[in-house]
Amino acid sequence: MVRNRYFAFKQFKIEQGQCAMKVTTDACIFGALFGQSPSLQNSQTVLDIGAGTGLLSLMAAQNSQSSITAIELDEEASKQAEDNFAQSQWADQLHLVNSSIQSFSATSEQRFDCIISNPPFFQQAFKGNDHRRNLARHTDSLSFSDLAKAIGKHLANSGEAWILLPVESTTLFLTAAVQEGLKLIKQVGLRSSSSHNNHRYILVLKHLNDTEESQEVHEQTVTIYDQHPHYTEEIRLLMSPYYLAL
């Protein structure tokens, strides 16, 4: 995707000029797969941790009647997401909170039917000169431990949490999640083409239930391109409700 000042979808528009992290293909696919999930479609409440441009919240609103709470730490990104919400047809469903999830969690006891997050994921990695981009990309502002704690506290007993991470970060996050009583039930790998390895995992978690402890993890792989820039038929079908060109 070209990182323009805005990105137009079929039913909404994302202004992103003030956001450190722009719309990405991986995030769009993540939001579309979440949008198809029965857990979202049957939900009444959704929590978006680290909302950024508001993309995932808007995709969730397109696919549900849920009340969606979006948490965003960065003030400029928060304002932009709020504007994107206000310009959409789902403004009444969408609620922006300019806060860290740690501060939100310290004062709120609310539980949500679904939680979705595309969190910061670099650990002790080289940082550039853009402080806001560093906060959005690195775990300094949101450790995997803090993210897992927030999910454990705010996820409803029968709810699902959907997390998008690089493959190399998943073990660390899942270690933290298990400590908070969360269990992986589904893992979707994203790969650029059939000749590439997975570069992202979508992790679906829920609260551990002793009667389901032996349940196997459902695994799936999604291939994005037949040959770049030509999408696979699977992606064309998945993204056709969103991308103008499909």
Domain ranges (residues) in the chain = 6-239
Residue 134 has pLDDT above 90, yes or no: no
Whether domain 6-239 has CATH 3.50.50.60: no
Rounded to an integer, what distance in angstroms lies between the CA atom of residue 73 and that of residue 55? Answer: 15
Listed residue (126, 173, 136, 158) closest to 24, CA to CA: 136
Percent of the chain having pLDDT more than 70?
A: 88
CB distance 40 to 66 below 8 Å = yes
Q: How confident is the model at residue 22 (pLDDT cuts 50, 70, 90)?
A: confident
pLDDT tens, 148-201? 999 999 999 999 999 999 999 999 999 999 999 999 999 999 999 999 999 999
> How high is the pLDDT of residue 18?
81
Which secondary structure element, helix H or strand E, spans residue 98, and what is its range?
strand 94-98
Say if residues 44 and 71 touch (Cβ distance below 8 Å).
Answer: no
